[in-house]
Amino acid sequence: MSAYELSTAVAVAAAITDGHTTARQVVTAALDRIGRLDGRIGAFTDVVAARALAKADAQDAALSGGAKPGPLTGVPFAVKNLIDIAGLPTRAGSKINRKRPPAERDGALVRRLEAAGAILVGALNMGEYAYDFTGENVHDGDAHNPHALDHMTGGSSGGSGAALAAGMVPLTLGSDTNGSIRVPAAFCGCFGLKPTYGRLTRAGSFPFVGSLDHLGPLARSVTDLALAYDVMQGPDPDDPVATLRPAEPVLPHLDAGIDGLRIAVAGGHFARGGDPDAFAAVARAAEVLGARGTVELPEAHRARAAAYLITAAEGATLHLDRLRTRPQDFDPAVRDRLIAGAMIPAPHVERAQRFRRWYRARVLELFETVDVILAPATPCRAPKGGQTHFVLDGVTLPVRANIGVFTQPISFIGLPVVAAPIRLDAGLPLGVQVIAAPWREDLVLRVARHLERTGVSTAPIAELA
């Protein structure tokens, strides 16, 4: 394995800036690795090699001419295929969208990353229309977990997790409505950030549930995650829910440590309904962080149910025309859930939204006495591909519907979360959610960085021949 394949985004940018390598050499290495491995992984749906090499050559020429390097100079990255890439139709994991006109310009976050020097190399596999927790796709083929190819990546940002774990790129973008960044990060053993709702613009992306959708980065190091987050911050009039708050950089405070932080473990809903290993991962993180006591998010089980209801209803509304005219072109499992969502009575949705406001207020009260809350990211390690049921706490349950049991009550109210990978043994990774109050991405990243520095949270590249 080459030095590039082991590098973080920060290390790649430094090597190019210092003249030890060039952007073309780095991008060529990334494209070569994608070509060599992706037939088995299924992380990519589109590779934009000509574009990437042209950008790399232009960047090398500019640096030779004395241009100031950006913080992500020459770093290859890839994005979930619901984010616009100029010249390609935005698939959103579907068959139907392939007939859409090609995007006229890149999505906003792609433009912001490239303005910092990063170089886009392609689009990543995902569950159809992001209505997925498994990483399986009937149109493009399933994404496979690089740590065990017969296991799931998690979804719906499955390709985003797989591309990192396979060492194809050091940085990816995903989306998270009910857990679609955090689940693949946990299953594939990398770091993922779901920012506060409205913090990162969603302009130039295909929506799923407007009141729950987030975009965010995944990476193999917390520093990379923080750097990517910082360069993507900022208001955007093209996204009506994007915050008007100014950018609040987190990188300068990343190594401030955890002294003085009040860290607790989520109990109740988050302490049952999972495998013992999922709770052992939280206990391990809590021990290293000196967490004290537990807190209970009130009615978290109802929050999960309400999130399900709002997801189904809003998602169905978005797809009504497609359901009427091209029902045969959906993944049947996605189609049936959307049809069911279309039949939910409006008063049920209104009641769920009222509960949402109550629940958010109650959870925010918890942050008057704690700064950070720890919870499992998933109820178990990655299931096998094609597995439809698993046993959790002695109960047989459908896999697809229950992977997000611990993520949904958090994204339901838009809190910032880092999913940090935990390896208890030589088996598949697990993940821990590090949760804070709105706009406190600095805290969740500081805590994740401490876990990384102590060696509890690591994101190694999978050993692939």
Selected catalytic residue, list 7, 55, 80, 175: 80
**Residues 246 and 440: beta-carbon distance below 8 Å:** no
Token output for 105: 């310009």
d(CA 80, CA 6): 22
Q: Which residue has the tokens 């998010």?
A: 297
Residues 201/239, Cβ–Cβ less than 8 Å: yes
Considering 94, 160, 175, 180, which one is annotated as catalytic? 180
- Is there a catalytic annotation at residue 99? no
Catalytic residue status for 180: yes
Region of residue 19 (phi > 0: left; psi between -120 and 50: alpha; otherwise: beta): left
Contact 462, 190 (CB under 8 A): no
Tokens linked to 273: 């309904």
CA distance linking residue 50 with residue 58, whole number of Å: 12
Of 7, 55, 94, 156, which residue is the catalytic one? Answer: 156
Q: Which residues are catalytic?
A: 80, 156, 180
